[in-house]
Chain A
C-alpha cells in the first residue's frame, strides 16, 4: 500500500483541525493488536521472503485480488466514519456538482480543492461544470468513474505528474478505464503543478473554458498540454 501525501504546500499549512472525542476514536479504531507480526520461535514466520517462478504468478494474482477486494472495504470504512463523526470523504471518488454537468475536471489531492473553487465560479457564469476528485489511485475506481462520466461532453484530466516518454499517468488510467464505454466524453490532458509549481484558479478557469471551446470546434485529439511552463505560454 502507498499513501500519497503532498509535500511542501499542504504540509506547511496551518489549518483548524477537528479532534473528536478520544472514546469515539478508540471505538472506531481500537488499539492495534495483530495476531502474528512478531518474529517468535513459538509461531514460525519468515519475513520478506522472495518468490521464484514456481509461485510468483499465484502470488501476483493474490495481490491483485486483494487490491480489488480493498475497494469495498474503503467504501465501507468511509461510510462508517461518516456515520460516527458526521463527515465522510466519498470513498474512492468524490463527485462535486456533477448532477447536470456537461464538463468535469478530474484531479487528485490539493488540485481538487482548486477545481471545486473554479467550478463554483464557472457555475455562477452559467457553465454546466463539475469536478471529480480521485481519492484512491490503486485500486483504480474504474466502475465508479464509468458510472458518473457517461453523460459528459468533456472530461479534463489534471496530472501533477508525468510519465516521461508517455504523458500524464492519471490521464492514461482514466482513458483506459473509459475505453469500454459506448458513449464516452472527449478527454483533455493537462500537466500542471510539477514540483510544486502553483496553479491559480484563474488559470484553471481559462484552461477549462478553452478546452470546452476546442471541443465545440471539434479539436479532440490533441496531445497533453503543459500548463505554466516558461517559454510555452
Chain B
C-alpha cells in the first residue's frame, strides 16, 4: 500500500482528543492519534505508567476508548487479563462470539524494557492475545529524564551527566526471539509506516504482537519543540533507528533511504549529545555502520 492510500483510508474520527497535558511538540500525541485511528472504537487499552498515559488517565480523559491505567510493570499482564475476560464473556454468551475487540497496551520504554520486562516477557511467552505498543523516548521522561535501558550510549540524562556508558538494549530483537506472530519497529517520523504496522498487528488473529515506536522528546533530548519530526526522521535516515518488521521469524526492513546520512547530522541537533567529542562521534558512527551492515541498511 502506498503512502497516499494509507492516509486516505485512515479514520476521520479523533479518538484521542485535544486539551491534554502533553508537552508542546510531544511526539506522543502524534503516536496516540495515529494508533487509535487504526485500532478504532472496537478496542480496549491497558496503560502502563508513562508520560503519554497521562492524557487518557488523568481526569477528565481525552481518550474515546476504554482504558485501564496501571503501574509501570503491568500493562502486559493486563493484556492477558482483559483478553481472558473477553473470552469468558463470549463463553457465557454475554458477548457475541464473532465480536472482534482489539486489546492493546501502551507503555513507555522504561516500563517496557526495565520495570515491566519480566511481565512483558511472560505475556509474550504465553502468546496472549493483544498488541503491545512500546513508546520509546529513550529515558524516564515523566520523572525527569533519568536513563533507561533504552537510552543510547553516551547520551546525557539527569542520571548520566557524562553520558551513559552502556549501549541501548535491543528490545525488539529480544521480543522477536519470543517467536511472536508479529514484531515491528516504527517511528513517529514515518506515520505511513506506523499506520501500516499497527494495521497489520490489529488484523492478526490471536497471539502477542509487539510494536516498538521511537518518539523523540524535545525537553528530554534537548532540541526545539518544532523539530520533533525532523529529529525522528534523522534517527532513521542515519541508521540509528531501523524500521523493520519480523513476521514468523523473517526480518524485513520497511524503509531504506537512498543514501544513509552521517550520524553527526542527528547527534549535533540534540543537546543530550552536545558533550560528544569527535572521537565519540567516530565511535558511534563505527557502531552504527557495523549494525547497519548486519541488516543491509
Contact = CB atoms under 8 A, between A and B. Distances in A.
A52 interface: yes
B101 A55 contact: no
Contact of B101 (A41, A47, A59): A41
Nearest to A45: B66
Interface string A43-57: 111111111100100
Contacts of B43: 41
B69 A47 contact: yes
Contacts of A43: 66
Contact of B42 (A41, A48, A50, A59): A41
Nearest to B49: A50
A201 to B, nearest CB: 47
A141 B114 CA distance: 47
B222 to A, nearest CB: 26
A39 B82 contact: yes
Contacts of B65: 41, 44
B57 A50 contact: yes
A48 B71 CA distance: 10
Contacts of A47: 66-69
B139 interface: no
A90 B60 CA distance: 41
B76 interface: no
Given A39-B44, A41-B43, A48 B68 contact: yes
A38 interface: yes
B144 interface: no
A47 B67 CA distance: 6
B61 interface: yes
A163 interface: no
B165 interface: no
B58 A52 contact: yes
Given A45-B66, A47-B67, 20 more contacts: A39-B44, A39-B66, A39-B85, A40-B66, A41-B41, A41-B43, A41-B44, A46-B61, A46-B63, A47-B68, A47-B69, A48-B57, A48-B68, A48-B69, A50-B54, A50-B57, A50-B59, A50-B69, A51-B59, A52-B59
Interface of B: 41-44, 54, 56-61, 63-70, 82, 85, 89, 101
